[in-house]
């Protein structure tokens, strides 16, 4: 089994934890609970016919945690970068999150799926971020990563209704697999599991079952 360490990043209150809980099949809780530092979960899935295990690190978005987040990026292979469509500030802060991810993971530029969350509330908000704005930012990111051989994608979700939550993780997993294979970071068709070890810069770590 291939282990993929991914991080959920973005401003506090944009719905990162709700997205994770939805993906884990735990439903939706309307009550906001602050993540302290980071929270961790795993989930098994299949990408391109290959069993994978996501190590999901949900990182606190508040400024007071800026000093402690860096260590959690180490060894990550990709990120869901989440913003709230009803909070323009969370959209305009995304360059900070891209910079923080790429500066601290130990590998540089990594696959990102740019996630517009809370689309169920778009019609009720006075000032919201459009799908076009989201796509434009993803295109800008892709221009920055094209030389690395991968694109950054955009998707719209609702943690409340569950719309596109699984798709967001699948899209990230597919991007990571392509990214890692190009760099010979994983081996396919092997009887040994291949793990992504957070403390090491190379994914190709073999362990006997």
Q: Map out the domains of the chain as residue ranges.
A: 2-206
Q: What is the pLDDT of residues 122-153, one digit of tens each?
A: 988 678 999 999 999 999 999 999 888 889 99
Q: What is the pLDDT of residues 26-76, one digit of tens each?
A: 643 444 444 545 788 999 999 999 999 999 999 986 665 566 678 889 999
Could you tell me which CATH class the domain 2-206 is placed in?
alpha beta
Using DSSP bridges, classify how beta strands 194-195 and 205-206 pair: parallel, antiparallel or unpaired. antiparallel
- The residue-averaged pLDDT of 181-202 equals 48
Residue 100 pLDDT > 50, yes or no? yes
pTM of structure: 0.83
Residue 199 pLDDT > 60, yes or no? no
Q: What is the pLDDT of residues 157-186, one digit of tens each?
A: 999 999 999 999 999 999 999 998 888 876
Q: CA 30 to CA 22: how far, in whole Å?
A: 12
Q: What is the pLDDT of residue 67?
A: 66
How would you class 113 by CB atoms within 10 Å of its CB: exposed for 0-12, middle for 13-18, buried for 19 or more?
Answer: buried
């Amino acid at each position: 089994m291939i282990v993929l360490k991914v991080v959920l990043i973005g401003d506090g209150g944009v719905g990162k934890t709700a997205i994770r809980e939805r993906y884990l099949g735990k439903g939706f809780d309307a009550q906001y609970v602050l993540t302290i530092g980071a929270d961790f979960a795993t989930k098994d899935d299949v990408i391109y016919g290959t069993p994978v295990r996501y190590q999901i690190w949900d990182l606190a978005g508040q400024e007071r945690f800026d000093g402690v987040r860096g260590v959690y990026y180490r060894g990550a292979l990709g990120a869901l970068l989440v913003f709230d469509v009803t909070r323009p500030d969370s959209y305009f802060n995304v360059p900070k999150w891209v910079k923080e991810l790429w500066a601290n993971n130990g590998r540089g530029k990594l696959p990102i799926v740019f996630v517009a969350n809370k689309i169920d509330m778009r019609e009720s908000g006075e000032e919201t971020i459009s799908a076009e704005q989201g796509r434009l930012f993803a295109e800008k990111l892709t221009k920055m990563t094209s030389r690395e051989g991968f694109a950054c994608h955009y998707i719209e979700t609702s943690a409340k209704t569950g719309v596109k939550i699984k798709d967001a993780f699948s899209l990230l997993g597919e991007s990571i697999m392509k990214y890692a294979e190009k760099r010979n970071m994983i081996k396919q068709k092997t009887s040994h599991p291949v793990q992504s070890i957070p403390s090491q810069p190379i994914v190709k770590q073999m362990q006997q079952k």
